Amino acid sequence: MNEEFEKRSRTVFKILSLLIKIEPGIIFLGGSAIQALFEKPKRLSIDLDISYPGEMKGLIGNLEAEGYIVKERASRTDNFLFYSISKEDVMVKLDIGRYEIPETETHEINGTKVLIPKKCYFLASKLSSLAFGTIGRFEIEPIQVIKDIFDIDCLLDLRVDLDHMNSDWNHIISDQNRLRGKQFSDAQCIKSIQSLLLKCADVAPMPEFFIQQSALGGFGDFLPKGRIKRQDIATMAARSLLLLANMDNGFYDIEKTVLSESENPEKLEEAERMLVENDFINTKQIRALKIAAPKALIYLKFFAVKETSIR
- What pLDDT score does 1 carry? 60
Sign of the dihedral defined by the CA atoms of residues 112, 94, 35, 119, in that order: positive
Structural domain spans, the chain: 3-117, 142-310
pLDDT along the chain (311 residues), means of 10: 85 95 94 91 93 92 95 86 94 92 91 94 96 94 96 97 95 92 96 96 92 95 92 98 96 97 98 91 94 98 78 39
Across the beta sheet with 90-97, the strand order is: 69-73, 80-87, 90-97, 47-51, 27-29, 112-117, 104-109
The C-alpha atoms of residue 78 and residue 297 are separated, in whole angstroms, by 43
Q: Which amino acid is at 287?
A: R
Calpha distance 134→52 (Å, rounded): 24
Cβ neighbours, 10 Å, residue 287: 16
Q: Between helices 283-292 and 230-245, what is the axis angle to 10°?
A: 110
| R_g of the chain computed on alpha carbons | 20
Record the pTM. Answer: 0.94
Task: Please tell me the class of the 3-117 domain.
Answer: alpha beta
HSE on the CB side for 181, CA within 13 Å?
Answer: 4
Residues 6+ apart with CB under 8 A from 287: 204, 272
pLDDT recorded at residue 308: 58
CB atoms within 10 A of CB 306: 15
Evaluate whether 262 touches 288 at the Cβ level (below 8 Å): no
